[in-house]
A and B are shown apart, each in its own frame.
Chain A
Amino acid sequence: MKRLPRKLHPLLDRRQFLSHSGTALSGMALTHLLRRDGLLAAGNDVLSGKVSPLRPGIDPAHPNAPRHPHFPARARQVLMIFCSGAVSQLDTFDYKPELWRRHGQPMPGGKDLITFQGEQGDLAKSPWTFRPRGQSGKMISDLVPRLGGMADDLCFIHSLTSETNTHGPGENFMCTGFTLDGFPSIGAWTTYALGSETESLPAYVAIPDPRGTPQSSVNCWGPGFLPAAFQGTDFNATNPLRNLHPPAGITPKQDLKTRSFLTKLNRHQMQEYPGDSELAARISSYELAASMQLSVPEISDLSAEPRHILKMYGADAAGNSTQDLKAAYARNCILARRLVEKGVRFVQLFNGAYQTGGEGVSNWDGHKALEKQYKIHGEILDQSTAALLTDLKQRGLLENTLVVWCTEFGRMPTFQKGASGRDHNPKGFTAFMTGAGVKAPFSYGATDPFGYQAVENVVTTHDFHATLLHLLGLDHERLSYYHNGIERRLTNVEGRVITDVLG
């Protein structure tokens, strides 16, 4: 029988920890572990050509210490900008002149199409004009003019596809590779494999939109069955990290003394347990927490940012509710840059939420009144996001950082019957990448002349994920975790690296 042996310590492999620790025990324990590795190697032979899992050596006391990738990486960090609610590719980056020619006519073959909310009306041109942008002349709409201005730095994928046309499962699919809840997010996989460049900040930060969380909420940055150490920590410029400060009524002196008592007590009591890695990890977690208490408020404090930076991002916007939201999102963008700057491995920045308004109101789900709603969303997204990319670039951070902009799926080239908005469409949509390891300016793949369906170089979400991992130096087939009888991967049993988009 074929067999995939594995180690099953509750927090993974102790090998690295033991081999680097200076205790007298480590040498002996290492013998033990290496013997087990011998067993591992024997098991691999029968895999008949299948690649074997590469398990990161994780020190339980420092689960997010930096680790080597599988092969030399092009990108060290990731910033994922996720627009919740399904951004219409046809009103942003996927220019389809045919929609102007056939505006108001039925889509050929579209008559019997039943999409998420029901029947289709006629083909509808975008309310926004598309113009050539940058040296490359990439056609991008007036809804996102400043992002359009960055066209020469961007690598578009116009042929992405999803497996579902429902928001929750769609967001899960884009963030975790599975439509169901409970699977590890891409950020969790990344930090599981690579740890972080900084231990004084969480390895993986999710920045929810000022209006709340996306439809799939915390599942977008959940650890699934990976250890909780790899869970995204969520906070933003409006809502700081929970429990970061001592509770009200506790003075700094009290706090300090209590903490140092705790350390002394733990050390004293654990003298009887030398070489126990789980106990060592517990003590270490308090040291890490203490350093976070200093560095997280520091990084969240934007007051040190110069006025011109605040202005560039639009953090000074004010005057009405849209402008207030724009300023709040802009502050999240600045926070994202600061986190990247400090070496946080994976930053996930959200635009759009479901808590404070359903369909299209505070997210990109423009079913009925697309023009009216997207005007607001474009205003909030465009300037700040473009400023974030510009700022990362001017600071040289794009050398090592991969930026990904994506959404859960696309929208229809038609308006819904009797409405002025577009229904869900997972058959072809757009994402872009920029930064480390990415070819730019470049556009990969294409939808049909109406922008309905990916027809050229079709990219599945699994392919997209495989490519992101590849840029991080990770083999998506070997980055796996044994759970409940299955070697689980971000890409399930699929995915291929899109080598054409690599710079």
Chain B
Amino acid sequence: MHHPGSDPIKSTTLFSKESLNRLGLWTFSFLLTVSSFYRGEAVDFSTDVIPILERHCYECHNENKSKASLRLDITDGWSLGGDSGEPLIRAGQPGSSLLIQRITHSDPSERMPPEGEGLSSKEIETIQGWIRDGASLPKGGASENSFYQTDHWAFQPIQRPDVPSATSKSTQHPIDAFVAARQEDMELSFSKEADRFSLLRRLSLLMKGIPPTPEELLRFQTDRDPFAWDRWVDMTLSHPQYGEKWARHWLDVVRYADSNGFETNRERKTAWHYRDYVINAFNTDKPYDRFVHEQLAGDFFGEEAATGFLVAGPVDIVKSPDISLTLMQRQNELDDMINTTSTAFLGLTVGCARCHTHKFDPIHQKEYYGLQAIFAGVEHGERPLQKNLPADQKRKIEELQSQLTDLESEINRWKEKSTTSVKPVQSGTRPPVNARLNEETFEPVDAQAVRFTVLASTSGEPCMDELEIYDLMDLNVALSSLGTTASASGTLPGYAIHQLKHIHDGKHGNQHSWISNSAGSGWVQIDFPSTRTIQKIIWSRDRNEEFTDRLPTRYFIEAKTPASDWIRIADSENRIPHNGKPDPNAFLSLLSKEDRDQAESLLRQREELKSNIQRVSRTEMVWAGKFHQPEPTHRLYRGDPMQKREAVPPGTLQVIRPVSMASNEPEQTRRVKLAEWITAHDNPLTARVMVNRIWNYVFGRGIVGTPSDFGANGLPPTHPELLDWLADEFIRSGWSVKHIQRLILTSHTFRQSSQPNATGLAKDAEGLYLWRFTPRRLSAEPIRDSILATSGVLDPRMGGPGFYLLDVQVENVMHYFPKETFGPPEFRRMVYMSRIRQEQDAIFGAFDCPDGNQVIPNRSRSNTPIQALNLFNSPFIQQQSNILAERLRAACGEEMNDQISQAFLLLHAKMPDEIEIQMSKDLIQSEGLESFCRALYNSSRFLFVF
């Protein structure tokens, strides 16, 4: 950013423009200094290298042209390199320096310069020599900041402009004064104020997402208070439905959905906590700077669910054994976090710098990886929602947790001992466990019950599809059909295909399996109705050979004998170790028998303690990410994770006064510092971006037409002074969203009529200069919510788990089918619909409803025949038409005139005129009230905000 008072760029160049124009005059002051270092054969940059650059390079890589964003006329250019983000030179290593590679490239299309003979071998040797000598560049010849100096408007400080003086009564409101000033330039003028019915409908639809009731309309019309409008604005903003409407806008910006996306597309049953957090934030007018802080680091600020922001995006849970693909998946996850954070808060498309330095904005590739380092410790997933627990329960958990810490350090001592143990490794002889079938044989034993305890698994919570126990007749006596009962440490909740009863149902495969509820551990037990003599056990993960994950690798099996309680009858000890993923408990095999027994008992205690903690905390989980201290982040050449370059410490963008972080900065602190940087008062973007979003959602177009791109590739503001005034007002008000909304809603700009006039359409058809309130189609959610509200069945219940407009078929890969019938469970507001990525609601999805795969700063508004078919023919609309007809009858009896007036008030916020009454009567008389309602739900007046 160009700080006022900083030196102009010229003084920082290696060569002034003149020097480039007049070759030979480049030898200015620093040459004298540098030449004093001249020693023997050493190559000097100024005397030896620059003339070569002048001959071959400067024509394209200078201040004016900078092809591939590379400048060779400033020292910054040398250190930053060009689009590839690669440094141009590696001091002392000519062979690995990009500059040498490019001027000596064997492929003519890659070789620099692209035209002509190229450099002579003598010239190449000279440059090689200079690099070999350390590639010293003249000191004082460059500024560190020149790359970041920009005159782009969005990076300039917010300056509160004076409000233009009012020219008439209608422009006393500051917003109107700014808008009127621009209209004057364009020879446009405001339209007259809209009528009160239209005004209230507009206010209600835009701020609450549902139309006003007839009672509200009549009350407002007869409200003679001179401040009536201000009061109605306040009432509307303080209604809880306000938060439900505005949260949906924010959820678009942060690509929120309730499933993982990609092929498995599993549900995130606890993601809704974040959705509720956002609704509540709007309703309580949470200061926006606080809102930013909590979404980035709510774990620090006591708002656990807020970090749902970080992990609201899609994630591919199918990992490939091919490491490069798996690393790329992780890169995509992090890119999603960087991209969402930078577009949502800053209106900057930082994601462009993933593979190369940004083409339009001053964002270097290494800064992208600085941001990546901030998020590098964030993983998709659930964590316990702590804050809802009562204090005594929290204390209990803390107590157990400290026990766990002690236990873990004791286990670690055993691990250390194992590495120093002199005892040779006793490797087993039985075949390693496999997913398909495992057999355990033992001396016949009388048993009342058998327990299978898992100590480790290849991944996740262990899974078994069947446990068979054979008696002396080789009969499987474990089968539930023989009267046995099963119990377990726990079962993964929520899956019809993974249940305890499946462990002994005689059915095989993942579809009929049991999964423990604890990663890498758990036990399952079969109790016989009477004592059995058993001699063999067969168990498997997936006998249908589809799945190999979750396979128990370390386990022991015990029998409860009538004589002596539990005895061990088999275990994994004498098996050849499974060659899958590393077993965290592999150290056990290095210990002596006695030590192993002790260590195993500790491990068992640990598992018990863990499940104990889980039970005591009874914590609600929340899809809000998991955090760990990350490994160092590296810049990746062309964004390729297999081409690691130098390590990059966590950091913010240089173009805005940056915040410094240590390379080993604690993970959480990174995110806290990022939030501080984003909301710093001198950050010129954050406030501008948010007030523009508010403006955009009110008027259908922002002052900046590209709400998530304030960079050089975005559109410039139509009203730059107004934008700055609002941004400043926003910060001064303590970042109050409602304050800005109140300002907008009380302006004449908002309150004017939506009717077009010839002058306005001719000069400004798009309404950029706000000469009317431009009508527009409502988006999917307000349409559906308005239908339910006007038919009278809208369920106002707020928050909690979402409802479904899809039927869910639970499998490894989830499948979703549109519901065909709807009832009260589906009559909540659409913000509470479980939003499944890729799967749109069958009726309203067609209304440009985003599915959460991409951030959506602005929904498109198309009008398509499929929308018309859905709205005209779907059973849902028929049902709602019938309910509305009943409502009209209940309110008005069979008096047709009243029914018609009531319907028009409800759906159109207007009294019908003579023509409307007559055509409505004709239809009702011949086709019934229901048909009339069906038509009204499809009318433009109902579907648009005017």
Contact = CB atoms under 8 A, between A and B. Distances in A.
Contact of A261 (B314, B332, B756, B923): B923
Contacts of A264: 919
A1 interface: yes
Interface string A212-254: 1001111100101111110101000000011111111110011
A218 B840 contact: yes
B762 A4 contact: no
B854 A219 contact: no
A268 interface: yes
Q: Which of B325, B352, B919, B943 counts the most A-chain CB atoms under 10 A from its CB?
A: B325
A9 B764 CA distance: 13
Contact of A215 (B263, B851, B935): B263
B239 to A, nearest CB: 28
Interface stretch (B103-111, B205-213, B616-624, B867-875): B867-875
Given A1-B712, A2-B359, A355 B320 contact: no
A216 B263 contact: yes
B919 A289 contact: no
Q: Which of B756, B839, B853, B868 counts the most A-chain CB atoms under 10 A from its CB?
A: B868
Given A8-B706, A29-B762, A116-B320, A269 B939 contact: yes
A121 B855 CA distance: 44
B940 A168 contact: no
Interface in A168-219: 168-169, 180-183, 202, 212, 215-219
Interface in B781-823: 809, 811-813, 815, 818
Contacts of B939: 262, 265-266, 269
B419 to A, nearest CB: 29
B862 A485 contact: no
Contacts of A5: 715
Interface string A1-38: 11111101111001000100000110011011100000
Interface in B641-672: none
Nearest to A264: B919
Interface in A276-300: 276, 278-279, 281-286, 288-289, 292-293
Contacts of A311: none
Contact of A180 (B332, B545, B869, B923): B332
B787 to A, nearest CB: 15
B684 interface: no
A281 B848 CA distance: 15
A132 interface: no
Nearest to A267: B940
Interface in B714-730: 714-715
B861 A278 contact: yes
A91 to B, nearest CB: 21
Given A25-B762, A217-B838, A231 B708 contact: no
A258 interface: yes
A354 interface: yes
Interface in B861-894: 861-870, 872-875, 877-878
Nearest to A257: B927
B865 A292 contact: yes
Nearest to A250: B878
B161 to A, nearest CB: 23
A207 B9 CA distance: 60
A282 B866 contact: no
Contacts of B936: 265
A274 interface: yes
A168 B318 contact: yes
B764 to A, nearest CB: 7
Contact of A274 (B318, B706, B756, B776): B756
A217 B809 CA distance: 14
A181 B837 contact: yes
Interface string A364-401: 00001000000000000000000000000000000000
B944 interface: yes
Nearest to A268: B915
A486 interface: yes
A359 interface: yes
Contacts of A216: 263, 838
Contacts of A31: 762
Contacts of A265: 916, 919, 935-936, 939, 941
A335 B348 CA distance: 46
A229 B874 CA distance: 19
Contact of A218 (B838, B848, B877, B908): B838
Interface string B885-929: 000000000000000000000001000000110011011001110
A33 B869 contact: no
B864 A229 contact: yes
Nearest to A220: B838
Interface string A62-73: 010000000000
B755 A181 contact: no
A168 B262 contact: yes
A44 interface: no
Nearest to B935: A262
A165 B758 contact: no
A485 B320 CA distance: 31
A246 B873 CA distance: 5
A114 interface: yes
A11 B862 contact: yes
A47 to B, nearest CB: 11
A275 B944 CA distance: 16
A424 to B, nearest CB: 9
A288 B872 CA distance: 13
B865 A288 contact: yes
B746 interface: no
A63 B862 contact: yes
B715 to A, nearest CB: 7
B812 A182 contact: no
A244 to B, nearest CB: 6
Interface in A58-115: 60-61, 63, 114-115
Interface string B401-436: 000000000000000000000000000000000000
Q: Which of B332, B920, B940 counts the most A-chain CB atoms under 10 A from its CB?
A: B940
A254 B927 contact: yes
Contacts of A245: 873
B118 interface: no
B838 A1 contact: no
Contact of A254 (B861, B869, B928): B928
A408 to B, nearest CB: 11
A282 B712 contact: no
Interface string B683-716: 0000000000000000011000110110111110
B504 to A, nearest CB: 25
Contacts of A282: 777, 863, 940, 943-944
Interface of A: 1-6, 8-11, 14, 18, 24-25, 28-29, 31-33, 48, 60-61, 63, 114-118, 164-169, 180-183, 202, 212, 215-219, 222, 224-229, 231, 233, 241-250, 253-254, 257-259, 261-262, 264-266, 268-270, 272-276, 278-279, 281-286, 288-289, 292-293, 354-355, 358-359, 368, 482-486
| Top 9 closest pairs, chain A to chain B, by CB | A182-B853, A168-B263, A28-B762, A485-B349, A485-B709, A289-B868, A227-B862, A288-B865, A289-B865
29 contacts: A8-B715, A14-B765, A28-B761, A32-B762, A32-B765, A60-B862, A60-B863, A114-B321, A114-B322, A117-B321, A165-B322, A166-B318, A168-B316, A217-B839, A219-B838, A226-B860, A227-B860, A228-B867, A247-B875, A253-B927, A261-B920, A261-B923, A268-B915, A269-B916, A269-B939, A285-B868, A293-B869, A358-B811, A484-B708
Given A61-B863, A289-B866, 9 more contacts: A28-B762, A181-B261, A181-B853, A216-B263, A228-B866, A261-B932, A289-B869, A484-B708, A486-B349
